[in-house]
Amino acid sequence: MGQQYAGTMTPEDAAAALGISVDATDSEIQRAFKLRARDSHPDLVGGPLPERGARSAEDFIRITAARDTLLQARHSSTAAAQAVHESTGRPRHRRISWQAMAAWLSVVVVAAFVSIGGAELPFTVAEPLVRFAVLTLGLVGFAITGKRVYFVLIALAIIVTAVLAITFTTLGALLGMFILSAPVIGLVLAGRAQRASDLRLGKQPTTSEPQ
């Protein structure tokens, strides 16, 4: 007898059957169902007339279906809202753009020219070129992937540059170090954010290209 209601009752029809609003809470739905059940449960209603008992049984089946329909609709909407919240509530970190990367690297190039051109080179010109190349590789790699190996390259290049700047103190070397601080901080922060995002998503830092 209850098959006529299975899958065919809308939330609006179910709410009307229970005498409540369609957006009623779970407790309101259960309370309305219990009140209606007292008046229609076959074990509580019936009497000497068989047709009255049959009608009560059908009413009980209908309000049971109404309760189940409203509860299912509420739980489905709650699950959908939760899925939307999880997908939008914690937005994924957007990797550093190529425009930002190019801007920071242009500052690194300026710092390299200032350091090389304004300092007495203790070795050949190849040494600072190689040092700044290692630093650039480390900055780019760490900003994109957040991998520690690139951070190690950054640290080594910065330490060597600082030692040489202090040992062979010149205005150009110190000015180059000052200029270099901005892109180093900017790209390292981008790499840390990328690493934190990857770890938060439960995966290892990737080597995919920035968006």
Q: What is the pLDDT of residue 42?
A: 57
CB atoms closer than 10 angstroms to residue 142: 25
Kindly report, residue by residue over 166-198, the tens digit of the pLDDT.
776 666 667 777 888 888 888 888 888 888 877
Residues of the chain with pLDDT > 70, as a percent, come to: 68
Assign residue 203 a region: left if phi > 0, alpha if psi is -120 to 50, beta otherwise?
beta
The set of residues, in sequence order, having a beta carbon less than 8 Å from that of 135 and lying 6+ positions away, is 108, 153, 154, 157, 158, 161, 180, 184
Max Cα-Cα span within the chain: 114
Kindly report, residue by residue over 15-54, the tens digit of the pLDDT.
888 889 888 888 899 998 988 888 766 555 455 444 555 6
Question: Which has the minimum average pLDDT: 2-6, 65-69, 99-103?
Answer: 2-6
92 and 210 in contact (C-beta within 8 Å)?
no
Average pLDDT for the chain: 75
Is the pLDDT assigned to residue 165 strictly greater than 80? no
Task: Indicate if the alpha-carbon torsion angle 53, 55, 60, 65 is positive or negative.
Answer: positive
Is the pLDDT assigned to residue 71 strictly greater than 60? yes
Of 171, 161, 176, 180, the C-alpha closest to 122 is: 161
Is the pLDDT assigned to residue 80 strictly greater than 80? no
Kindly report, residue by residue over 98-157, the tens digit of the pLDDT.
888 889 889 888 888 887 776 566 566 677 788 888 989 999 998 888 888 999 999 998
